[in-house]
Chains A and B, each alone.
Chain A
Amino acid sequence: MVETPEGAGGLVSIPALLLRNATTFADKPAYREKEFGIWQAWTWAETEKEIEALALGLLNLGVNAGDFVAIIGHNRPYLYWSMVAAQSVGAVPVPLYQDSGAEEMEYVLSHCGARFVIVSDQEQVDKVIEIQEHLHQFEHLIYLDPRGMRKYDHSHLHQYSHVQDQGRAAYDELFPELERRRSKITYDDICVMLYTSGTTGKPKGVVLSNRNIIETARHSSEFDHLGPGEEVLAYLPMAWVGDFIFSIGQAYWTGFCVNCPESPDTMMIDLREIGPTYYFAPPRIFETQLTNVMIRMEDAGRFKRWLFHYFMQHARKVGPDILDGKPVGALDRFKYRLGDLLVYGPLKNTLGFSRVRIGYTAGEAIGPEIFDFYRSLGINLKQLYGQTEASVFITQQPDGEVRSDTVGVPSPGVEVRIGENGEVYYRGPGVFVEYYKNADSTADTKDPEGWVATGDAGFFEPDTGHLRIIDRAKDVAKMADGSLFAPKYVENKLKFYPNILEAVVFGAGRDRCCAFINIDLAAVGNWAERNNISYSSYQELAGHQKVLDMIQAHVEETNASVAEDEMLSGCQIHRFLVLHKELDADDGELTRTRKVRRKIIGEKFDDLVTALYDGAPSVYTETEVTYEDGRKGKIKATLEIRDARTVPVTTQKVAAE
């Protein structure tokens, strides 16, 4: 085994880091949780004692080294302690999504053969009890919140605090065993097992070693200069790899404080009270917050509204440059200061972003307007690209090199290469050990040299060296002339317009791209109201000339932006139509997570696709729809097909430098 500096220092596991923090940062808060309206805090020294008591309690219940301990519940300090306590006795924590149904839980629990399950409350206890007869290895269930649990049969059911009490009582007897177990943990032992949600097929258990987690935590903490003074809010699912890296990996490596919300509903209030310095959120959350701000500004008095728009315009102009440390004139700087005093500062405070030093978003493409809004306020929001199999980090954006359309440069220690088909591969210290009990999938994903296929297609920008992700690799195809076709890349650009809800781009194997557009009824309806356009149905609104004009303008703007991209300039949309019905999961057109099923839509609306390509000015169609009560009906419509202006492209310049 290769001994790294950390290995030599003995910091080869999370429990080892805990012991270090309990002495180095003894009196510094490690966890906070709001309960009964007050923030309760635990220092690192107290945390160590709590975890020790639970670990002893687990020994007392008979947890063996190598056992899997499942943990289910929302973010609470006690459940984070459960993970570290499990690691301390040589077991492997397996956090599960608390909103997963009993069947999914049954699959995961029996797949890993968990003997012990630690859950938050009655709701989760009920789920486990429902499936327990199918779980052959399951033995003990530990719950946190005793509410409603009194009447349950307690022969295999234990209250968390009682387990700790028993552990404390048996201290003299069991402590030597705990010491022995802790000292036996090596750098290559399993740190945690995380199940990927699995859009296709059954979830896979991703095994991450101590080396994966600690090396990743070290590199990423150094990359962003994270220190023990950071405050984070832990509100994303504990079963998600990002939460494990932020709230355990980086927190234990640097010794910063993890704050847990009072309840999942109070997250926004708690965010404001804590004012984190390091923050992560998926694009959806930033989008919701921005929408709320905009709606409330519309309701504000005229002067306030004017003030807001005046200074936001200025912020958009110079804010990002000031954040990136680029030269900005003295007058502009002064005006930005003033804006900060009057608008940006109070706004950031309301949003809970006053102290954010580093913010990350990932998971999906974020709209450039949304991204720029937060950056112009002076919030250092960045993007990263990651996967469970990589212990999160593949690429991330360094300070001062942030853009909304790239995902940054390879993270420290990570190598990235682009395969022949455009697929992104990576290799690094965070690369997972294996998929648990699934050698075939492991071999499919990771080659013997350690390169992992992401399943995403992308390329490095020649000038900046930043990675850009264009689409899922399996969706990327070639057009008739051989140029690259990346539908999602174009669809995302279209969907950034609030008026466009969904877009479906066709073009694989064809000479040009065409698109279906779905209008957003809320946004377009609102627009229609303001412009005195009357309509009686979705279909009528979707077919309105002015709506078509508006969508055409959006499509043409998108074309201009797509054309700037040499590799993807062939994906400009030549013709489009606005669909007469909203794409719906009930009709099989979307997945339940609202992703478009391009192939099914193409088959179902075959007549419309044909019309897009044969140059017809309009097309008559009948579509079968399923109503919410299961009845079926038909919608008849004549749809106008519009030509969109495209930007001429000089075909694939031969790279002559």
Chain B
Amino acid sequence: MKDMEEGYITEDGRKIGGVVMEMKNITLRFGGVVAIKDISFDIREGEIRAIIGPNGAGKSSMLNVISGFYVPQEGEVWFRGEKRPPMKPFQVARQGIARTFQNIALFEGMTVLDNVMTGRLTHMTTGLFTQAIWKGRAEAEEVENREKAERIIDFLEIQSIRKTPVARLPYGLKKRVELARALVAEPKLLLLDEPMAGMNVEEKEDMSRFILDVNDEFGTTIALIEHDMGVVMDLSDRVVVMDYGKKIGDGTPDEVRSNQDVIDAYLGVSHD
């Protein structure tokens, strides 16, 4: 069922479309270290796709390849039916890929609203000069972008901290602001690097709910890296499992859970 060309319907009735992103035989090396070794997998439109694996498995490297931060030595990245040439991260962002970071990367001195507004940068077309004068087109653009930002602020329920400098916020809320900044860019593909790391149970539940709501409400395709197995199994439609730079499993949470290689990797079997 999962291999159908035109996508599939999930158990809870969501429609998953065709492939939006395909990684073909990716290999990434740092000098002599092979971080990713000949990995292929795809991401379908509208699905929540998880990448899991033990520490050092190459998950973050994989995400960085998708986001264009790393260029793999071998292999091809296909996005929306086209082979992607080597790109700068801002060019990837313009293609409709947004991300959050494992170690929060917000502008600490700026307010939540200003941080979220920076996520609209790729959608701004007026130049420095027009913006300095501000009246007319630049003003209209700012109003439009502010409305988009406010809708996301409302969606993620962070209205009460709208004018608060990010530095004053607790960790869990910072993560939510980062998600807001990624979402306001209206991405086609959203990359989340350990969205629940360091959170308590309640914050994890909130974050899970927001991820599901984002997927449901905006139809955003989501690829996420996560350590918390419970969360991954509950959230994702399909899971890629990595270990020592290699792909050792790919499938639905149930399939992955019963995969012997995956069990070995997580329980720890000696690598000879």
Contacts and interface: CB of A to CB of B under 8 A. Distances in A.
Contact of A148 (B150, B159, B216): B216
Interface in B139-195: 146-147, 150-151, 153-155, 157, 159-160, 162-163
Interface in A249-265: 262-263, 265
A595 interface: no
Contact of B159 (A150, A151, A263): A263
Nearest to A151: B13
Given A147-B213, A148-B216, A151-B216, A263 B160 contact: yes
Contacts of A147: 155, 213, 217
Interface string A294-336: 0000000000000000000000000000000000000000000
A447 interface: no
A85 B13 CA distance: 35
A37 B13 CA distance: 34
Contact of B150 (A36, A150, A151, A265): A36
Q: Which of B154, B159, B217 has the most CB of A within 10 A?
A: B159
A269 B14 CA distance: 39
A266 B154 contact: no
Nearest to B14: A151
A35 interface: yes
B6 interface: no
A147 to B, nearest CB: 6
A150 B213 CA distance: 11
A266 B159 contact: yes
A263 B153 contact: no
B12 interface: yes
A119 to B, nearest CB: 17
A35 B155 CA distance: 11
Given A147-B217, A148-B217, A37 B150 contact: yes
Interface string B66-105: 0000000000000000000000000000000000000000
A262 B153 CA distance: 11
Contacts of B213: 147-148
Contacts of A37: 146, 150, 153, 159, 162
Interface string B214-240: 001100000000000000000000000
Interface string B42-66: 0000000000000000000000000
B173 to A, nearest CB: 11
A147 B217 CA distance: 7
Given A151-B13, A269-B160, A36 B216 contact: no
Interface in B96-151: 146-147, 150-151
A487 to B, nearest CB: 38
A36 B143 CA distance: 12
Q: Which of A37, A147, A150 has the most CB of B within 10 A?
A: A37
Contacts of B159: 37, 262-263, 265-266
10 contacts: A35-B154, A36-B147, A36-B151, A37-B159, A147-B155, A148-B213, A150-B216, A263-B159, A265-B159, A266-B159
List of 4 A-B pairs having minimum Cβ-Cβ separation, nearest first = A265-B160, A36-B150, A266-B160, A37-B150
Interface of A: 35-38, 147-148, 150-151, 262-263, 265-266, 269
Given A37-B150, A38-B150, A151-B14, 20 more contacts: A36-B147, A36-B151, A36-B153, A36-B154, A37-B153, A37-B162, A147-B213, A147-B217, A148-B213, A148-B216, A150-B216, A151-B13, A151-B216, A262-B159, A263-B159, A263-B160, A265-B159, A266-B160, A269-B160, A269-B163
